[in-house]
Amino acid sequence: MTDVLLAHGGVGSDQTLNSFLDDVVKSSLDRDPLKSVVNSVVRMEDDPRFNAGTGSYMRLDGSIQMDASVMIPGSFGAVIAIEKVRNPVLVAVDVMNRSPHVILSGDGATRFARTLGHAEYNPETEKARIALQQTMAKLKDSSNKEDRILNFRDRLTIESFLTVDTVGAVARISGKFAGAVSTGGANPMLRGRVGDVSIPGAGIYVGSEGAVVATGIGEDIIRNSLCFRTYKRISDSSLVDVLREEISHFNSPVGLIAVNGKESAWFANRQMSVGYYAGEHVN
């Protein structure tokens, strides 16, 4: 059985990033599947071209709140709306391995990160500031920022989301599976908004038969329990056919990457950058 490490840069991400992501997964490969996926996600969190970590987008109030999670069969860890850390996915690992909990949120997640030595870090970038300005311009018909977003479900189409991307990775190493995901959120979004990334079965699911992670509009992914639904079918037929059929139920931007005991596959209804490695066991 070959080892596989597969990463995506988010649905909607430019496919010219594929070669970069190929290098990311090759350099991230480790004997431990969890380390492999986390290494890949850290590389993307550190690159401002991706909507995670340093590349995260702002909430309507100008804050940056990030979500991340990791999963292996029987174990899960996540952070929701964490602030002022460089690599939320590393905090998610610590939640799984060094806390009695599976999910920490908000200021509690940030305090937990500081306790374990994750330094304070400001992920704000010019990209994020420009994106917020664009968002506010789209919602300029109200004088109150909160009012502008509270009714956007009725007044903005799905395609009006300026960003819906997430980064993620799945691995099969020595027959064992792992997944990791991280995001700076959708845009526009209220402070405190929770997407699919930190919800097991929605944006990520890993079990003894394989690993699945998603990217897209989190609200739609949550409503459909996308990754759990996909995982339940992970060995039914051709893996890419399973992904294609699950995504066919969505009008909104959605992508999936997955591995099972024999195959690996990816599929999206928009462009999506992907990095892929398949080879012999890691020494």
Residue given tokens 């908000």 in the structure block: 106
CB 75 within 8 A of CB 94: no
The CA distance from 271 to 274, in Å, is 10
DSSP assignment, residue 58? Answer: P
CB 28 within 8 A of CB 281: no
Q: Is 22 exposed, middle or buried (0-12, 13-18, 19+ CB in 10 A)?
A: middle
Residue given tokens 């399973």 in the structure block: 242
The CA distance from 117 to 40, in Å, is 21
The three-class DSSP label of residue 164 is: coil
Q: Name the catalytic one among 135, 163, 166, 183.
A: 166
Specify the DSSP element, H or E, that contains 152. helix 152-155
Beta bridge partners of 177: 172
The one-letter amino acid code at 158 reads I
Strand ranges in the chain using DSSP code E only, listed in sequence order? 3-11, 66-72, 75-82, 103-105, 167-173, 176-183, 204-207, 210-216, 254-260, 264-268, 272-279
The CA distance from 83 to 109, in Å, is 8
Report how far Cα 81 is from the mean position of its chain's Cα atoms. 13
Instruction: For residue 166, indicate whether it is catalytic.
Output: yes
List C-alpha distances in Å: 92 to 80, 109, 193.
9, 9, 18
Q: Which active-site residues does the annotation give?
A: 166
